[in-house]
Chain A
């Protein structure tokens, strides 16, 4: 069974470290995006090193691009450049990028994602910037775009998650940080197809996040959550 990590953050110069961690944990592929300053402001440099990593390891790494919504049309041009480098999705982190998820400033980026058939990963759980229902507003505005709800609203927005998934068939939940007993309940309520494994490496531990999936109820189909669901979304988009 091929394990795919739907959410890793790659710091500049750390691709080898990530690959050895993936090898140690038996992870075949990982979706990577720029981290920290490269996520917030130095997007061009961030997208470039992600492009380089996927060029060197095309069978292991899948690259998502970032662009601060505050750059306006410059951000869209940067996403076009990243597209040319082979990146194949958009990552948003409203808390780090300093933009509220309902701010129309984000729309040109989502318009681009829709044109490019890119999925959009968005970290959630950080008030006031990125809560599940804020993502639901965006997902309802863009019903043809696939959204990945990063961290499932962790820490405090667990009440809002099931309604978000029910409202928006174009949202799947990425599992980093979410507690296993919580995941068990949501999977039962919303269906296993709506969940993708992610570690948020290096901020969480890939090893512990995988062990968590192992602790889920035995009846849960690991193949779907650990790989097939994200492949379905990536395949639809590219």
Chain B
């Protein structure tokens, strides 16, 4: 079983056109992905109504696609209400944030209210990660220290230049999970060696990336010198403990 914990479904944003849900599921079939956690893209620029739009877009594919909400932390208490609504009324499974595009720091008090709400709702937060100044692994590490109960996923585990930071916070904080999407292969090897498979998850950024990237990401995990059971943890076991796929 392969669960892709990092994908984007969207209609159209400026000159970018998203993959239509039917084609999206076809790519999943062709590459062997069973389930995907799906996020918005346009919602990082304008969060208004983006959760309802995503849930509407994936209608008919609820057995394969599991939507995550996005909120704009700058909206303060309203963002907290929107998050609650998205999870409790729309059935969304987690929160995706892109601190770089959304231009907020993980130390801002209005974001901390959202983090608190995620703990109350018992949902994971997945962050774009690896891009200074707002999306660095050690910033998520600092958050993990403040909220040991939060389930915090690095949607990219530090990318090309900050993967050592991602490994460091993964080793230190048991509530940080690393998704090595677009990571150098040598970084994946270090993650496999130093971070328990129970803290590693699989993701491809499909939607922003395409089928070709999905094939490469699957191959990267397959090539790791790990036991079959550990690869299963990365492909599906770890994320299944973080996300309530049923109910």
Contacts and interface: CB of A to CB of B under 8 A. Distances in A.
B31 interface: no
Interface string B98-135: 00100000000000000000000000000000111000
Given A200-B184, A202-B186, A208-B219, A215 B212 contact: yes
Contacts of B142: none
Interface in A117-133: 125-127
A21 to B, nearest CB: 12
A151 interface: yes
B101 to A, nearest CB: 11
Majority-rule SS of A interface residues: loop
B185 A208 contact: yes
Nearest to A176: B184
Given A155-B131, A177-B184, A204-B186, A212 B160 contact: no
Interface string A190-201: 000000000010
Contacts of A154: 159-160
A177 B185 CA distance: 9
B182 interface: yes
A203 B216 contact: no
Interface residues of B, number: 21
A180 interface: yes
B226 interface: no
Nearest to A204: B184
A207 B130 CA distance: 24
A110 to B, nearest CB: 24
Size class of A's contact patch? 20 to 34
A208 B217 CA distance: 10
Given A156-B131, A177-B184, A203-B184, A208 B159 contact: no
Given A204-B184, A205-B223, A181 B161 contact: no
B161 A126 contact: yes
A154 B160 CA distance: 7
Most buried by B among A155, A177, A180, A212: A155
B216 A208 contact: yes
Interface in B194-212: 209-210, 212
Interface of A: 95, 125-127, 151, 154-156, 177, 179-181, 200, 202-205, 207-208, 211-212, 215
